Every structure is written in C-alpha cells, then in structure tokens.
C-alpha cells in the first residue's frame, strides 16, 4: 500500500530534523515515505516526484530544507497536493534563511510554513494528520487521544530543580 504522506528533504543532513515528522506520523498510525529530493542538486528528481506525487497516491507532502530552501516552493509549484514546509536549522544563519526562503511564497502557490527545526517537523506531521483525519474518523480518534495524552502530561505545578 502506498504511504499517504510523502516526507521529502533536500539532503541526508535534514533527516535529523525530518525524522521527527516521520516518528510523529508513525505514532498516529499514518503511513509515510521518506525521500531525499534536492531542488538544487537533483532538480530532475524533484520534477518527477512532484509531478507524479498525486498519481502515486500521496495526499499530503511535507518538505524540509535548509539554507536557500527552494524545495517546498518548487514542489508546491508542481503539484496541487497540500505542501507543508519545514525550515531546517542551518549552521550559518540558524534557520532564519530557511524560514524566509519558504514562508514568503507569492500569492497563488501556497506552502504551509511551520516553525524552524524539530518543532516544525512535529507540527507538520500533526497538521498533515489533521487534514487526513477530516476523512478518516479512526485517525481523528487517534489524534484526539494524542492531544489528550499531551494535555495530561502537563503538571499543574513546577518541580523544584536540582
């Protein structure tokens, strides 16, 4: 069976961030497939992936990239599937470059841009799951349970630090 979410990233080095999206989807029972697709180094792979993603059966694409992060925007330009962009924290500019490269899409080609780094990767997965849950009641239930566990895990009072 084809995965419903495609997690693509510009480089192997992005996996340390993007694995959090994969792990979050797995925890919710959402199938995903991880691929390295570089807008700059493998542009033909990008075109082939983005143009074929819908026919492959993917429903949502999560795209993470760092630096001059063109991957989410170029992917969104080539598919009607929803694209969620995760700015990977870069060494030189701490991911602000990635964020700015992804967030300011011109009107007409949307990329749902998340926070820089791990938080963005986790939230991209949760957002993808929310979208999919609109037509998947069992998933909606798992998502609700996930949120409840998160709420229940928050203590009412802080513990003394050592």
Q: Where are the beta strands (DSSP E) in the chain?
A: 5-9, 32-36, 60-66, 83-88, 112-113
Q: H/E element holding 104?
A: none
CB of 98 to ligand RP5, least distance (A): 7
Nearer to ligand RP5, 11 or 113 (CB): 11
Min dist CB 109 to ligand RP5, Å, is 19
14 is in an annotated binding site: yes
Cβ-Cβ contacts under 8 Å for 82 (sequence gap 6 or more): 60, 61, 112, 128, 131
| CB 65, min distance to ligand RP5, A | 4
Q: Is 147 annotated as a binding residue?
A: no
Compute how many other C-beta atoms are within 10 angstroms of the C-beta atom of residue 150. Answer: 10
Where is 26: in which H helix or E strand? helix 15-27
As measured in angstroms, the least distance from the Cβ of 34 to ligand RP5 is 14
Residues that bind ligand RP5 (CB under 6 A): 10-11, 13-14, 38, 40, 65-67, 88
Q: Residues annotated in the binding site for substrate, as ranges?
A: 11, 14, 41
Q: Residues annotated in the binding site, as ranges?
A: 11, 14, 41
């Amino acid at each position: 069976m084809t995965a419903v979410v495609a997690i693509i990233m510009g480089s192997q080095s992005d996996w340390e961030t993007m694995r959090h999206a994969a792990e979050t989807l797995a925890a919710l029972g959402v199938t995903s497939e991880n691929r390295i697709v570089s807008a700059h180094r493998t542009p033909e792979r990008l075109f082939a992936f983005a143009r074929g993603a819908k026919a492959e059966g993917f429903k949502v694409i999560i795209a993470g990239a760092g630096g001059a992060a063109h991957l989410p925007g170029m992917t969104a330009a080539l598919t009607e599937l929803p694209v969620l962009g995760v700015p990977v924290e870069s060494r030189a500019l701490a991911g602000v470059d990635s964020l700015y490269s992804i967030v300011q899409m011109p009107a007409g080609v949307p990329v749902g841009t998340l926070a820089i780094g791990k938080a963005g990767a986790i939230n991209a997965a949760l957002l993808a799951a929310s979208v999919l849950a609109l037509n998947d009641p069992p998933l909606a239930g798992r998502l609700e349970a996930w949120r409840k566990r998160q709420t229940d895990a928050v203590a009412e009072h802080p513990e003394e630090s050592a």
